Structure formats: structure tokens, C-alpha cells
Amino acid sequence: MMTRARGMRESGGRTILTPGAPRATFSLNHSGECVRDEELELLKGTLDVLVLKALAWGPRHGYEVARWIGDATNDALQIEEGALYHALHRLERKGWLASEWGLSDANRRAKYYTLTRLGRQQLGVKTAAWTRYAEAVFAALRTA
């Protein structure tokens, strides 16, 4: 299952913009690759830094993490459920996240994830690296 914005449809595991959709939309699949009509791939680690940032504000369960990423990117990035849970489990194994079971707002059992001290450090490191990378790409794109 994938969270999708209005004006989009799913086809063959990909998120496709429907006619009249206002912006490009990217979707991260279960292997962490970003898929777009042109098969655009984001660099490895994109999902990790987004998950870490989503959890910087406090504990969230998986659906809340995906919703935060969508909201924070004006629905330009949509994360497939399989990719998200794979990333959450991988980050937990690395010691960057901790988890515990609780009840969601809908009174359903949900696993809540929080940043560990190491996870918060990694968020700082990865944010700085992505900022440097994005600035370098933008500088190159602005050249004549």
C-alpha cells in the first residue's frame, strides 16, 4: 500500500501523475529507489534522513511518519508502506531508533518509533551532508 496525493494513480507499482496534476511526484519503493515516470533515482539514504527528520519531533508510528513526509514535501514525496517499514526496521537495527508498542489515535495497536541519541547525531550528520549535496547540485544547475 502506498500513500498517494490527489491527482495521482498507481500503475504497476509506480505512482503516476494523472492529467492536470500540478507537480512532479516521487515514490520510494521497497528497495529504497525513487521511481518517477522517467525512473529517476534519488541517492541512497534519502529515506533514512527523511525518517530521522520525521521522528525529530517525537514518537510516531509508521503511518504518521509517512504522512509527515508527504506533508513536509507538499505531497511531492510519497513513501510506499513496504519501503517505509523496511527503513524503520533497518534504522532500529543500527541503533538509530527505538520502538515500543502503544495505541494510536484510532485506538489501534501501533509500534511507535523514537530517535535514540545516536539517531539524533546521525540526523545532524546526514542533514549536513544532504544540504551540501543539494547546494552543489543547485549550483551546477544554475550555470549557463
pLDDT reported for residue 30: 54
Is residue 3 included in any domain, yes or no? no
pLDDT band per the 50, 70, 90 thresholds, residue 79: confident
Cβ proximity of 27 and 78 under 8 Å = yes
> What would the DSSP string read from start to end of 82-121?
HHHHHHHHHHHHTTSEEEEEEE-TTS-EEEEEEE-HHHHH
Domain span including residue 76 = 8-141
Per-residue model confidence (pLDDT) at position 8: 45
Q: Is residue 81 part of a domain?
A: yes
* Residue 111 domain flag: yes
Residue 38: the pLDDT is: 36
| pLDDT digit string, tens, across residues 100-111 | 999 998 999 999
What total of structural domains would you count in the chain?
A: 1
Q: Name the pTM for this structure.
A: 0.71
pLDDT at 28: 58
What CATH code is carried by the domain that includes residue 79?
1.10.10.10
